Amino acid sequence: MTAPLVIANARIVDPATNTDRRGAVLVADGRVEGLAEGAPQGVPDGATLIDARGLIVAPGLIDMRVFTGEPGHEYRETLATAGEVAASGGVTSFLLMPDTTPVVDDGAIVDFIVRRAAATAKVNVLPSAAITRGLAGEEITEFGLLKEAGAAALTDGRQSIQSAGLMRAAMSYAANFDLPIMHHTADHTLVGEGVMNDGALATISGLKGIPAEAETVPLARDLQLAALTGARYHAAQVSTAGSVELLAAAKRRARITAGVSINNLALNENDVAPYRTFFKLSPPLRSEDDRQAMIEALKAGVIDVIHSAHDPQDSEVKRQPFAEASEGAIGLETLLAAALRLVHSGDVSLMTVLRAMTQRPAEILGLPSGRLVPGAPADLIIIDPEYPWVVKESEIVSRSRNTAFEGARMQGAVMQTFVAGQSVFRHADWREGAR
């Protein structure tokens, strides 16, 4: 049993209850005990009191697309270091992709991750499991055993399943266990040797482009199969206006959700020039028109989730000629700040941004967190939405340094992060604290 915690003088923002008001939060035994308007009505004996000084208190963020190196490539990121990074960015739970060595395609590996994360990570780590053995796209894994071991979702991570017949079988099988199928759509024959968004900039740069149809063609297939099978389908990360149109129509007749990387919300193809490999991502950074389409889809609810697509890569595979460099960028510690760019610019409301990183991921994954209501896990964050800072390589928490926001000026940061009522991160400039 831990001492109660009271966070007073806070701006409580909770999308799940559409709350945005001044008040206080009482935490006891790792759960939200209650909320009070205005000042707290007394403080329990022995409680820790934190004066939020008018800053935002919100549910901890839930990131639905995180890659690490453990097991197999711990030099990139371990579960422990990923937990540190997540806590610093206000992420209290994240969904771990199965792209590890060995691949998470067996119940024993899921169990290992569950146990390892519980022993080493500061935040909640939810393992996903592979749809196909070895992520090879040829043979379906044992979904029931994977769920029993603790898998929260099914995905082939970076890989895209090319066979329509196999995808139909996977969806039918997953529907029996009510497990969401999360799929990164990319037609291999259309991607080809492409390395950036197809268009004038790719031509000028002398680089092979990836057309929007590489994403929309398999997405259209998946959406029809989801309607056919009744499966819970999550388009892992969309990036084109065409995908938005397909999703808007499909959501009327099937259990469809969709996510977007913060990179495709905050950046566009112009950021790639001149041959900046830390901006080589999958899906690639698209046109400004596509980026604006992502923002409008988020506001309309066509896109449900914003994720970091945290993908640690070492400098040896990123500091290469653009065509040869690996795809991916880290993003856990910049997720919130980059999302707040949309708020500060007036493009999206704070409530909409937070909903896409708290309530909606929790609903999709069936988690009790992502909301500030009595009885919910006390996973919460204190946010200073005005705090100015610059992303510097020397200050990156992650073991890897492949950020797409190097040198970016940010406005907004997490001052303190709590998991089950326990502080797991405190900003160096956060002077308020326990009394």
Residue 305 main-chain phi, psi, to 5 deg? -130, 140
DSSP sequence for 67-118: ---TTT-TTT--HHHHHHHHHHTTEEEEEEPS-SSS-S-SHHHHHHHHHHHH
Query: How is the beta sheet containing 233-235 ordered, strand by strand?
Result: 154-155, 181-183, 233-235, 256-261, 305-307
| Contacting residues for 119 by C-beta, under 8 A, at least 6 apart | none
Question: pTM score, two decimals?
Answer: 0.97
Distance CA 405, CA 99 (A): 24
> What per-residue confidence (pLDDT) applies to 132?
98
For residues 58 and 67, the answer to whether their CB atoms sit within 8 Å is: no
Q: How far apart are CA 6 and CA 41, in angstroms?
A: 11
SS3 assignment, position 149: helix
pLDDT (tens, 9 = 90+) of the chain, 435 residues, equals: 578 999 999 999 999 999 999 999 999 999 999 999 887 777 787 889 999 999 999 999 999 999 999 999 999 999 999 999 999 999 999 999 999 999 999 999 999 999 999 999 999 999 999 999 999 999 999 999 999 999 999 999 999 999 999 999 999 999 999 999 999 999 999 999 999 999 999 999 999 999 999 999 999 999 999 999 999 999 999 999 999 999 999 999 999 999 999 999 999 999 998 899 999 999 999 999 999 999 999 999 999 999 999 999 988 899 899 999 999 999 999 999 999 999 999 999 999 999 999 999 999 999 999 999 999 999 999 999 999 999 999 999 999 999 999 999 999 999 999 999 999 999 999 976 443
Measure the CA–CA gap between 120 and 59, rounded to whole angstroms. 22
Q: Is the peptide bond before 98 cis (omega within 30 degrees of 0)?
A: no
Distance CA(404)–CA(300), nearest Å, equals: 27
261 and 281 in contact (C-beta within 8 Å)? Answer: yes
Question: Residues 185, 233: contact at Cβ < 8 Å?
Answer: no
Distance CA 419, CA 153 (A): 22
Structure tokens at 259: 């996510």
CA atoms within 13 A on the CB side of 241: 8
What DSSP element (H or E) covers 294? Answer: helix 288-300
Residue 114: is it exposed, middle or buried by C-beta count within 10 angstroms (0-12/13-18/19+)?
middle
Q: How many CB atoms lie within 10 A of CB 116?
A: 17
Q: Judging by DSSP bridges, how do beta strands 181-183 and 233-235 pair with one another?
A: parallel
Distance CA 399, CA 393 (A): 11
pLDDT at 1: 59
Per-residue pLDDT, 434: 42
So what's the pLDDT on residue 405? 96
Q: Which pLDDT score, from 0 to 100, does residue 314 have?
A: 87
Domains of the chain are 5-57+378-387+406-426 (2.30.40.10), 59-365 (3.20.20.140)
3-state helix, strand, coil in the chain (%, to 5): 35, 25, 45
Contact 128, 66 (CB under 8 A): no
Main-chain phi, psi angles of 23, to 5 degrees:
175, -160
